[in-house]
Structure 1
């Protein structure tokens, strides 16, 4: 079985993803398919001996959607980002155009209800009214006064400018304003909103009904009812504002949705940006620089200090410290020597080394993490499965309900034909779009994307859905909750020992250590003392501490267990030790061997600073 995670463009609602799953899922050779409207991705498992990607691509194209396959032109992250930016900008242009045309219509119908203005000359008559006067008291009186006052202020410059050029009492200005707003609403309905019609035709052609069908039915019914009723039946209130405003707000919603999806995919884009752009490879005994797509398993690659490691591999020459936090989350650089594995996209801190590439391209750990995030975004949560089931039947149910509404009011309630038709249109209009079908997948994809941005990998929407049940969270403190740079916070001399001498001995013996906490002690020693004495006979005991000879004295620095192993009794200092530990600090003892006997001379506490969340 072959598993592929593919990008699907031009989906507009949950019904689109359901349609893809149904059509492709019933094909011979397709084991499973899960398409996510929110992430615009589909996860397909199929038998290449029975069906191939070309056939799957053809099937999805017949439905009116575009499938982006690996290796195709435009499939790279950069090209995809450009296409998303173009699509978002196109959505923004449609919203702007719809706003410019719909805004006067909406304002006009507000004016009808507030000031009974139905003709152009009446609009100018309203402008000629005197400044409004407050009459009465209370909320509604003041509200009406201030609203009228604002309209009056706006009207004055318009009236003055219009008076410079035309006489508004002439016949051309006695035209019904509905003609003007019919002209304004027409391009919104059939030009700006044309993609809704195109998607509707495609959907009906394949025997399905997505949310665009409902949008077209609702707005077209309102538009044609208004046009026919206004021309032939002299209706008092055409619904130009209903279709225009509805299409404007749906287009605005599509724009916000496009922006949200773009932001959700930023986490994957940021992960891919971590990858090095080129590598220094040994070819025919010479070092050459090549792009990553020219690397192969077995290549010997040279990495210098400060450079990113291009791919995964094994060190064959040299040693270094590598900053791996972008991949593993480990806050401190890790020492790597010959035989150790290195991970692509991590940063070489110090030392030149060579390594043999073992994993390149899509096999590297970085791409495995990217694939995990993509699959998580494409995987549906249980609540989304429920929403999909509702969305699948939503459009047909609304159409049936609208017809039943008309039948009920016209045939059984004996209302006039027009009254029944208005109620049928109302059902269609208020039902589109299905907010549940749009909001649920969008919320999931944005949530998973935001989590990935903050370094949290969620294995699908189910994990996000169950997150509300979490009562406690266990964190790796250092570098996750803290900045990853511990400092010495307390130094308590014991038995009258000198504090400066204590930090000098502690810092000197830690010079030979590679432990992250050692750096805090060394930095403190350099600040307090300056140049540190040399340590001899250094020995590190993993999990306990270090010891060595400093200026002729045997010195040990470590935890209470280390002191116990050396036969040092620290019980009398347990109160100080426990007090510092209870303050979430790492506490160690400093001991000296004097006259062939060990004794504790200081307690040192260290702590990391919390990140400014």
Structure 2
């Protein structure tokens, strides 16, 4: 048997060898290899001689921890009607041996499950879900298929509502006609008048009520099945309430035929019909509104073109996007979308990447530039080589991130989840006890007790509790994606609003990460362009970032690179060259001092440049100072603005860098940094974050490089710059696709708005049930108020879920403050 474990506790390669050694000593182990970088143990063993717990125990004894590498699967769940259904599916799947984690999102109707494939199969997971009364199907990858399924479901709900309404309206007119007829000038025909023909009156009501019961048959099939399985849900409440009303009506009809015509005014058929009709309308509105919460992901999925023009054997062939392979040459004309990710090999154009990065200005693309799939080619025809296809493209990765985030749960939802699990049984008990209490203790009539029983069952709404958190997360993460802020999980979304300190990496985050020539200072009688030309000619071919910056600066000014007659590198100091018979020295201050070259009147200027965080490169011609070329890593355009905005939000801002303190202080002064952590080695960055956390602060780390990954992981929230490395993006909780620091306050602001929305939803959901159920129990009646009609209870219940969804949709209007 082959198995993979995640190993925790390793600190060096020697630890990996130790784990391998103890594993190989176990009987039945044929092979064991540990990858220190990925922290994984791949092991082959005979399960008849050694078990997984034996392997884990041996590794634990050696001082490490072995965690089974589980498989993850997402399944679409059909048949859920409320949060209690979601909890039931979680409960039955968690009972399976081999299931490590099971989480159902009622809003997205998806099950995210982690399991040990050696112990349980997907087919077994599906079977236990179907046994519980639901259907589990493989996640649909096509947006068209998903859209078609949702539209079909919405149409079916609408047809059921219309069918129910067609029979309910005349039923209401018949039952209420004798009460309001005289007020509106309407009288019931004699053959259905309850005072003249009570038997016909009752039979007509049964005939009109039965089609409504048929339209709502799913409430009964699902509700009673769930009740029998001892996992009641919202359908169980509706099924019990409407069945009680209907069968009481049948009993009343029987009494009418026995001669007790007083029962003609207590048939209750209209209550059963109206409850089903209103709940059906509520379910339809809920499905429509719920669909709007996931529009962001549907929009992203719909961006990818269905076909691509591929160059094969010199011919342009239109092929399905699924058939495009890495290495294929793709031709894209103006106005068309890029089918997959790639690299330009021919042509020049500008590309609109706004749908993926949020950046509205088109980006110029020429040979060697990267192409993002689904972006729009604006003006020129280009050829590019496919580098990533299918699930590896940037669009596919973004969709996966957003889907995972929308399917995740935030800690704030825990209380609602716990309550949802016990909600329905508790409501049933309350309904029964309330009815019995009024009948036996309150000495009220059976009709009164039945009204209480039905009203309590119908007004209770576990749906509102189940929808409160996930719908807000769906809209919030979708809105973030719209602005190029990819929030990976509900936990990240919730934690972000608590952040009170943000630590920025300097190079590539606050600054551009690319040194440029900022100043050219010359001695008397020396031309600036000539000095830069000499410096660039000397540095041509240099791999040093500062040298590259000087060469690039000269090229941008169109200066010719002169031929070198002599070249000598002086380690730690600079270089010595000969150009056109002139001896040229280019380097740091030490080089000039060693060669006894006087700085003349440039001394003060060199100090000024250094204080500004710039690196002065001194140039001497024939042992006489000629000037200074200053190079610096420039601050990004929006860095200062973003930090100012964070300060307004009451957030402390720190900067973490390996640069010397002087340079760090200069950059910090430019952008308004509160705290400077300079000369920090890459391996110590995570420790610096830990120290700030030790002060009791919630810390976010913003970075872009490989050496930032440990600090991103250590922080309460890791925020990666989208232009950074894959490792940094993998370690982060939030990814900024535009690489714009203004998106950092946007992420915090969005988190605050989403959490506020969730709290509003939960307040409504809890408040509705806390107030609604006692009213249905007859609290107002005790103090001389009216008794709640089951029809009003049904309307209130339908409105409850829809109101939570509508409140969540308010987040779609979120716009970052400028």
| 2:231 is aligned with 1:208 | yes
| 2:85 is aligned with 1:16 | yes
| 2:290 is aligned with 1:267 | no
2:378 is paired with a residue whose SS is: strand
| 2:308 is aligned with 1:279 | yes
- Give per-residue Cα distances to partners, 1:560-606, cap 9 Å, x unaligned: x9xxx9x9xxxxxxxxxxxxx9xxxxxxxxxxxxxxxxxxxxxxxxx
| 2:411 is aligned with 1:387 | no
Separation in 1, partners of 2:277, 2:294:
26
| 2:153 is aligned with 1:87 | yes
Please state how far the C-alpha of 1:457 moved relative to its aligned partner.
4.6
Contact 2:83 2:463 in 1 (8 A): no
| 2:269 is aligned with 1:240 | yes
1:321 is paired with a residue whose SS is: strand
| 2:126 is aligned with 1:103 | no
**1:46 alignment counterpart:** 115
Separation in 1, partners of 2:552, 2:454:
77
CA shift in 2, pair 1:23/1:463, >3 Å: same
Separation in 1, partners of 2:272, 2:472:
27
Please state how far the C-alpha of 1:381 moved relative to its aligned partner.
2.8
Separation in 2, partners of 1:7, 1:333:
38
| 2:220 is aligned with 1:197 | yes
Within 5 Å, give how 1:156-555 maps onto structure 2: 174-176=196-198, 177-188=201-212, 190-232=213-255, 234-235=262-263, 236-415=265-444, 419-431=448-460, 435-438=464-467, 441-442=470-471, 444-446=473-475, 448-449=477-478, 457-461=486-490
1:174 is paired with a residue whose SS is: coil
2:409 is paired with a residue whose SS is: coil
- Give per-residue Cα distances to partners, 1:242-299, cap 9 Å, x unaligned: 2222111111110001101222232222212211222222334544221110012232
CA shift in 2, pair 1:470/1:49, >3 Å: closer
Please state how far the C-alpha of 1:51 moved relative to its aligned partner.
2.9
Separation in 1, partners of 2:468, 2:234:
13
| 2:57 is aligned with 1:57 | no
CA shift in 2, pair 1:317/1:438, >3 Å: closer
Contact 1:260 1:442 in 2 (8 A): no
Contact 2:358 2:482 in 1 (8 A): no
CA shift in 2, pair 1:172/1:50, >3 Å: closer
CA shift in 2, pair 1:340/1:30, >3 Å: farther
1:42 is paired with a residue whose SS is: strand
**2:21 alignment counterpart:** none
Please state how far the C-alpha of 1:344 moved relative to its aligned partner.
0.5
Please state how far the C-alpha of 1:212 moved relative to its aligned partner.
0.5
Contact 2:84 2:424 in 1 (8 A): no
Separation in 2, partners of 1:222, 1:346:
58
CA shift in 2, pair 1:170/1:229, >3 Å: closer
Please state how far the C-alpha of 1:104 moved relative to its aligned partner.
2.9
Contact 1:69 1:75 in 2 (8 A): no
Contact 1:68 1:75 in 2 (8 A): no
1:274 is paired with a residue whose SS is: coil
Please state how far the C-alpha of 1:240 moved relative to its aligned partner.
2.1
**2:95 alignment counterpart:** 26
Structure 1 gaps of 5+ residues are 116-122, 127-147, 474-538, 550-560, 568-580, 582-609
Separation in 2, partners of 1:442, 1:422:
33
Contact 1:540 1:547 in 2 (8 A): no
Separation in 1, partners of 2:345, 2:193:
93
CA shift in 2, pair 1:455/1:240, >3 Å: farther
Separation in 2, partners of 1:331, 1:432:
43
Please state how far the C-alpha of 1:397 moved relative to its aligned partner.
0.8
TM-score of the aligned structures, taking structure 1 as reference length: 0.63
CA shift in 2, pair 1:96/1:79, >3 Å: same
Structure 2 gaps of 5+ residues are 1-69, 503-548, 560-611, 617-626, 628-640, 642-814
Contact 2:107 2:470 in 1 (8 A): yes
Aligned residues: 451
Contact 2:232 2:424 in 1 (8 A): yes
